[in-house]
Structure 1
């Protein structure tokens, strides 16, 4: 903890399952513009999150001497006030808990984010002290979007009002009031000032502007006795200060300990939950900057719900997603907050998600819940309803991705796709074949013999064309084919043709695909997005935005792809690959102590030491690791 080279690389994320979050490093030094103690959506302004309270510095005062436990990075690599040197213990197995020692003073700090409320709670306990002790708290306010910075200005309001054991204040019109309260009487000393030149090294690394000024309206001061506990709350609504202690304890009692790999992932899965005011349910694609995206929702849904025995939440999210999908298919404006519903593979991933649901609850219930949706998706695609998805006479789907990124490999440079995947795209058609076969099975089981026959005929045509189009003489699959343009790059998208329940490939072809993915794409952190033997291999996701855009899908490793790879291995080799898959999972378990504690980063460098990069927590990665654990359990019990 006292080694900033180590501690500043590790981040903590806590969410309220309502879109708000709290994030920083282990030593409470913000290193991203996205970091903050209370970061909330402000729909009255825009659809971004906004940092209201950036941090809260605590100072221990004894015999007139002050010991500030805070930590900020300023320009010129200067850290102040260096409170990390007082840290003696840190534990995040239940909630983030830091123990500070200042001479004879031992102070414990515990942080919790209240579920479904925009409220951060911090509990301070004076575990030991040999003389009278006072605590002083300075709140650092930002009141800005996570994508912007704030600087000293004359527009910011300095007004505040005293409330029950605290104050409320609002820096700018349009923002909600920020309520800061303690559970006991305190004195607020109005001493407005700007702290200038606070720097965020993560933004500096990424080639962005990296410094801002934060406003401190003054400080709270209150005495504390040995053994006494004080609770601080920062929120967008006022509460009775006398309820803060019980509120903290109630939240604490609901927490699941992060005492093993699985429990860490379950907690991480719950962090992606997002319940809106109208009770619609979503899955956020990641933190700290991702919204709810359609493709990510359907890929993540089985792992984040069914794999942890939460089918009820699958249904809640699917109800919201189905409404959006139907609105898109009808050409109506979307009434749900799901982005990128127009991507051509979204309905195909929706079918895949329902297929996983059917395996969990049974096909009868799945048909009752989503049979009509499955039928409507197939008809929609067959009839050419999608503006960028055409079913050709050969049974393959064609999509135009020359000018706009339409697959999960969506990085852009100068407004154009870095990887212009266009035409017959390998995973689109693997998903299509799987969808047609699954829907044929469902139709047959429900007595629709004619409908099932039509679908089986289409599937047979798709299967032949898939093999003729994508299988090459080197034993792997072309990534996409558009007329005479064939992409021979070895990419991980071919793995879906093996991992999905219905594969257009024969046994030998599937083994060949898995073998080449093992040799050229497999890392301890998932599959590389491009083989090192292919042209343009760029495995290090570092540097300014443009440099990172070119590396994003050109060799970086993605754990969610590793989930489908491991499913393909188990499908082909069954129990004989169990120990291999278990060893592969160790690479993910190691991540629980790095980057964002207890969750999985967005992507990893494709070369050793495979550093985590991008967003601190990514839904598809967490989901696929959980789904793999469920598959391991299933195959372990099979004879």
Structure 2
């Protein structure tokens, strides 16, 4: 449980920069801030994902604004909104005495003298269905609670305004249907019909995006309450029926307690619930992984990097097996489909497929699932053959040294794939160091699976031996003074258009961290230690002329900084793997900053990125799958 008091809740510089998330297991969610202020276009109580398409989301119920009529007859609004021009009105956050996360679910408590009102919120797992319960905890007499429903129906990435038609709201028994898309239900519904113009989202302004939209006041629910009584409201999309908001909350609490029953401590429990947020029902019903909330969909690279932490560390192996089977079916020309977020399947990574080889081997090693190994092994061998022969985007094994090279105009195929105006910021054409660490690891993984099933893997071993020898010869940078090679850092890319790239980046950590990595068990160069921050390694050394310490500003500014010094918490996992054999024993110390970060921004989760400069404020998605997965994985291994 995490608790924030009035000093955080009542200060928008603190309470409105901490965000909560309640996912529904389909890619949809409820999301907002501790203070109740909507600071993003993505914030709302019902964000609906299309069935089997977690990336395609619509915002429906933006807010339920509570208004109390006290025994004295005075009315008090408990909502908090910011409007174009900077006016904050009403200022209900100043009446919040407490916000807490209990069993992974948010609770708010407002106090107006002796009157105390609590809000609880939860979603139905596997369905776009939210329940919101307002309970009067104490009052000297009866009070009337009104909940004003502010709605829209628009793409989660966009806006809707009063220049166009308002959302169609049709009242029916117990509530209303909005745009024939979602339903509201609760007591004493009274239709509204008014635009709330100029709702302002300060985080969108900070990201250089349009920050204003208009919200439609659809109507309101109300009830006269005595202490201990509650007003329940539900909202849902699809063909479902009302369940009772209190029942929704209690079921969610019970489910979350079952997920964390064997957690070792509060941090472990928080990470398990954070991990659960990313596992969703994908296409054809197979499990999939949302890369990050609130704006990402499902990406193969992120999923495979996250696989161990999300599925093996948690024991969700059955779900993981079905995910791996579904992804194996997407293999084409030796490549794994990366994403279908754009509406069409895209094959656009050089590393995602190699991470898939790693994930399959880790699964089989952890579960002894030889049936899965037997089913997918032909596809894995085709991956090797296609890389040797050559596949899309110039991805191929160089016959001169057995290492994987890649690159094509206008594309960035490694995980450092940011582009500005269509031009890659870090194209890394040639032979990226982590790609070849993954290639060597993948050859060993497939060889091990083949031998486990009684096959001959001698050809795979020969490929790996040659690539490993070439790796040692090609990537080590000599110390200019001594000519010593053993503890020297590695080139980030070799055989690129401009030669070998000596940039000090964390990509080389994979050579030490992967279980069959070419440098596994040898000391990590001291030069890499300077990359580490409380939230993980920087993506570029601070003394590099291209280093950018702030990941902020317009979309172009952020993309230019994305891999040029920005901190990536997921790399803490490879960092700990790399150093634990030779240079470090107290691994928990390396996780202390991330553990504290759990309560700093995306409450109970780990952010996608952070500034390279101190104090390393979180950036990108506040809730990111591979950041959570790698933290959970290494914490459970080394904790």
Superposition TM-score, scaled by structure 1 size: 0.91
In 2, the alpha carbon distance for the partners of 1:58 and 1:495 equals 51
Tell me if 1:51 matches 2:59.
Answer: yes
Tell me if 1:562 matches 2:569.
Answer: no
1:527-542 equivalences under 5 Å are: 527-542=537-552
Tell me if 1:511 matches 2:518.
Answer: no
- Decide which moves more: 241-250 or 29-38: 241-250
SS state at 1:578 partner: coil
Query: Does structure 2 conserve the Cα–Cα contact (< 8 Å) formed by 1:293 and 1:341?
Result: no
- Across the aligned residues of Structure 1 and Structure 2, the Cα RMSD in angstroms comes to 2.6
> 1:491 corresponds to which residue?
505
Aligned counterpart in structure 1 of residue 150 of structure 2, from 120, 125, 140: 140
CA-to-aligned-CA distance 1:118-176 (integer Å, 9 cap, x gap): 1111111111122221111111112111211111135224441222x222222xxxxx4
Q: Post-superposition shift, 1:90?
A: 1.6
> 1:108 corresponds to which residue?
118
In 2, the alpha carbon distance for the partners of 1:593 and 1:60 equals 30
Q: Post-superposition shift, 1:572?
A: 3.2
CA change 1:192–1:147 in 2 (3 A) is same
Tell me if 1:79 matches 2:93.
Answer: no
Aligned counterpart in structure 1 of residue 23 of structure 2, from 15, 35, 48: 15
> 1:265 corresponds to which residue?
271
SS state at 1:324 partner: coil
1:35-434 equivalences under 5 Å are: 35-42=43-50, 48-62=56-70, 63-94=72-103, 95-163=105-173, 165-170=174-179, 176-182=180-186, 186-237=187-238, 241=242, 243-256=244-257, 260-276=266-282, 278-326=284-332, 340-362=346-368, 364=370, 367-393=373-399, 394-434=401-441
Q: Post-superposition shift, 1:32?
A: 0.6
> 2:37 corresponds to which residue?
29
- Decide which moves more: 386-395 or 48-57: 386-395
Query: Does structure 2 conserve the Cα–Cα contact (< 8 Å) formed by 1:380 and 1:386?
Result: no
In 2, the alpha carbon distance for the partners of 1:373 and 1:211 equals 49
Tell me if 1:438 matches 2:450.
Answer: no
Tell me if 1:618 matches 2:619.
Answer: no
Higher helix share goes to which structure? 1
In 1, the alpha carbon distance for the partners of 2:308 and 2:344 equals 18
Q: Post-superposition shift, 1:340?
A: 4.3
In 2, the alpha carbon distance for the partners of 1:588 and 1:530 equals 19
Unaligned runs of 5+ in 2: 1-8, 480-487
Superposition TM-score, scaled by structure 2 size: 0.91
CA change 1:276–1:550 in 2 (3 A) is closer
SS state at 1:458 partner: helix
Tell me if 1:589 matches 2:602.
Answer: no
Query: Does structure 2 conserve the Cα–Cα contact (< 8 Å) formed by 1:294 and 1:340?
Result: no
Q: Post-superposition shift, 1:422?
A: 0.5
Aligned length: 614
CA change 1:401–1:528 in 2 (3 A) is farther
Aligned counterpart in structure 1 of residue 559 of structure 2, from 523, 545, 549: 549
Q: Post-superposition shift, 1:375?
A: 2.1
In 2, the alpha carbon distance for the partners of 1:571 and 1:340 equals 38
In 1, the alpha carbon distance for the partners of 2:160 and 2:380 equals 48
- Decide which moves more: 596-605 or 56-65: 56-65
Query: Does structure 2 conserve the Cα–Cα contact (< 8 Å) formed by 1:403 and 1:416?
Result: yes
Unaligned runs of 5+ in 1: 171-175, 634-639
Q: Post-superposition shift, 1:238?
A: 6.5
Tell me if 1:453 matches 2:458.
Answer: yes
Q: Post-superposition shift, 1:243?
A: 4.2
Query: Does structure 2 conserve the Cα–Cα contact (< 8 Å) formed by 1:521 and 1:531?
Result: yes
Q: Post-superposition shift, 1:368?
A: 3.4
Query: Does structure 1 conserve the Cα–Cα contact (< 8 Å) formed by 2:234 and 2:244?
Result: no
- Decide which moves more: 31-40 or 436-445: 436-445
In 2, the alpha carbon distance for the partners of 1:111 and 1:19 equals 17
Query: Does structure 1 conserve the Cα–Cα contact (< 8 Å) formed by 2:17 and 2:601?
Result: yes
> 2:485 corresponds to which residue?
none
SS state at 1:92 partner: strand
CA change 1:26–1:334 in 2 (3 A) is closer
CA-to-aligned-CA distance 1:38-87 (integer Å, 9 cap, x gap): 11124699952111111110111124321111000112321111011221
- Decide which moves more: 12-21 or 74-83: 74-83
Query: Does structure 2 conserve the Cα–Cα contact (< 8 Å) formed by 1:555 and 1:606?
Result: yes
CA-to-aligned-CA distance 1:218-262 (integer Å, 9 cap, x gap): 222221222112221011147665744434322332223796111
- Decide which moves more: 212-221 or 14-23: 212-221
In 1, the alpha carbon distance for the partners of 2:235 and 2:68 equals 20
SS state at 1:553 partner: coil
In 2, the alpha carbon distance for the partners of 1:232 and 1:606 equals 43
SS state at 1:352 partner: helix
In 2, the alpha carbon distance for the partners of 1:273 and 1:327 equals 28
CA change 1:338–1:585 in 2 (3 A) is farther
CA change 1:244–1:593 in 2 (3 A) is closer
Query: Does structure 1 conserve the Cα–Cα contact (< 8 Å) formed by 2:45 and 2:130?
Result: yes
